[in-house]
Structure 1
Amino acid sequence: MEFRDVAGRKIRLPSLDRAELVAGAPGLRGEFDLTRVAITGSTSAGVTGEGSIAESVLSNLDLSGSRLAPLELSNVHLVDTELSNATLPATTARRVHVEASRGIGLHLVFRQASDVLAEGCRFDYATIELERVKQAVVFQGCSFREAMFLGDLSTVAFVECDLEGAEFAVRRAADCDLRSSNLRAVRGLRTLAGAKISTEQAVAIAVGLATQTGLVVEDQPAGTAPFPPGGTRHPGAT
């Protein structure tokens, strides 16, 4: 079994013997149950289906605009897969590795996510909800511009991701690691209690956080001396 250490998380990657995989057609319309298949360069845009995929590789597959629910993925590697505007509202993922794929406008709900790694993917404008997280879930080098996050982000790691303009409305975020990612213009910061950020990030988001907690941030009037660091200026003091 292959493991990957990312941001202090140990992820079990899919264990696949590609020589044993059988080339298959997409087969994702209606009910499906696919095991040990390799699907490459196929178009299933706009399909509606439900079922499971196990011990398989999907590469260069177009699933844009599709609706797959419920969907169970186990020991699956997805490469260069198009999921833009797809709807996956009831997904269970165990040992799933997603590489160089696109899910712009994707609606994805993980009922359970365990040992999930996404690398170099675009999820701009997506809505992603995690109901239950087990083991490691890591997004590395992914783009989530203007995306929405819901549910439980506990222990999830975002490694060198672009989260500019993303919105968080999560119920838990304990030990969520955001330290190496771009948090410019992120909304919903108050829901991220327990998440980890760097000192530099804390300074960068200070104004946004203050505004989101109801404070009015204004420049100091000209000619007004600030309080001395760590001290208190008493009335009448000069």
Structure 2
Amino acid sequence: MDEITFGRVSLTLPGLDEPGLYLSNVESLENGRGIVQDFQYTGADLRALDLADVQLLTGRIADLRAAQFRLSEVRVNSVVFDTADLGNARWSDSKLSRVVFRNCRVMGATLAGLTLEDVLFDNCRLDYCTFEKNRAVGPVVFSKCSLTEASFFDCDLSGAVFDDCVLRRTEFGKGRYQGTDLRGNDLSAVFGVASLSKVIVDRVQQADMAHALLSELEVTFGDVLDGDR
């Protein structure tokens, strides 16, 4: 298995180029046995993709477009999503292990009740997404992603990494963020700074966090009031 490192965290990537592994082209991700394995699913343009109680094991999903994308109780292991447009995805109660989302557009999605282990979001558009009750049980990395007005509620992101992401009006609600690495990001416009207990930041980010907190508290500076006289 290949690995990639971000700061103090190393992710195990899907081993899709291992000797002897052959990915068969499939026309659908649905299977009567509930298991799709050693597969390649490319170029689909769908009105809707609805999957429930399915296992996707070792494969690549590329150039996928789905106006509606609904997954429930889906186990995904060693899968790469490459250049996928997943519309207003609704993904719930699933486990993802060794999964990469690369150059994906998942705007306005709701991702709820997901267990994440060795999951990488790489150069993805995740604006306006809602992450709810998701749990990192292994490395999770957001790298060069846009998370404008995304929200995290009741999530356990302990040890997760945000690497060079856009966090404009991103909301960090109640949750666990111990050891979450936020170094190298502009934190001046995030919401929920008070929830970010025990995160990792650079010293230069103290001013960003102070600015974000003061904005959230709607503090008025005295010199502004004096100027109104």
Is the TM value for this pair above 0.5?
Answer: yes
1:54 aligned to 2:57? yes
In structure 2, the partner of 1:138 is 141
Alignment of 1:1-238 (within 5 A): 1-17=1-17, 20-28=22-30, 32-50=34-52, 51-150=54-153, 151-212=155-216, 214=217, 216-220=219-223
Q: For the Cα contact (< 8 Å) 2:170–2:189, is it kept in 1?
A: yes
Secondary structure of 2:139's aligned partner: strand
CA offsets 1:23-61 (integer angstroms, 9 cap, x no match): 011334998421011001012332322112110100001
Secondary structure of 2:212's aligned partner: helix
* Aligned amino acid, residue 178 of structure 1: L
Deviation >6 Å, runs of 4+: none
CA offsets 1:178-237 (integer angstroms, 9 cap, x no match): 11112232111111111122222221231331354x573413476xxxxxxxxxxxxxxx
Secondary structure of 2:11's aligned partner: strand
Taking the aligned partners of 2:211 and 2:187, their CA distance within structure 1 comes to 12
Taking the aligned partners of 2:83 and 2:28, their CA distance within structure 1 comes to 15
In structure 2, the CA distance between the partners of 1:124 and 1:30, relative to structure 1 (3 Å rule), is farther
State the Cα distance separating 1:110 from its structure 2 match: 4.6
In structure 2, the CA distance between the partners of 1:142 and 1:110, relative to structure 1 (3 Å rule), is farther
Q: For the Cα contact (< 8 Å) 1:30–1:48, is it kept in 2?
A: no
Taking the aligned partners of 2:124 and 2:33, their CA distance within structure 1 comes to 27
Structure 1 unaligned residues grouped into runs of 5+: 223-238
Taking the aligned partners of 1:78 and 1:215, their CA distance within structure 2 comes to 41
State the Cα distance separating 1:134 from its structure 2 match: 1.7
Secondary structure of 1:96's aligned partner: strand
TM-score normalised over the length of structure 2: 0.88
TM-score normalised over the length of structure 1: 0.85
* Aligned amino acid, residue 119 of structure 1: D
Q: For the Cα contact (< 8 Å) 1:153–1:170, is it kept in 2?
A: no
Structure 2 unaligned residues grouped into runs of 5+: none
In structure 2, the CA distance between the partners of 1:123 and 1:89, relative to structure 1 (3 Å rule), is same
Larger Rg: 1
Q: For the Cα contact (< 8 Å) 2:188–2:212, is it kept in 1?
A: no
Secondary structure of 1:135's aligned partner: coil
Percent sequence identity over matched residues? 27
RMSD: 2.2
In structure 2, the CA distance between the partners of 1:209 and 1:31, relative to structure 1 (3 Å rule), is farther
In structure 2, the CA distance between the partners of 1:30 and 1:7, relative to structure 1 (3 Å rule), is farther
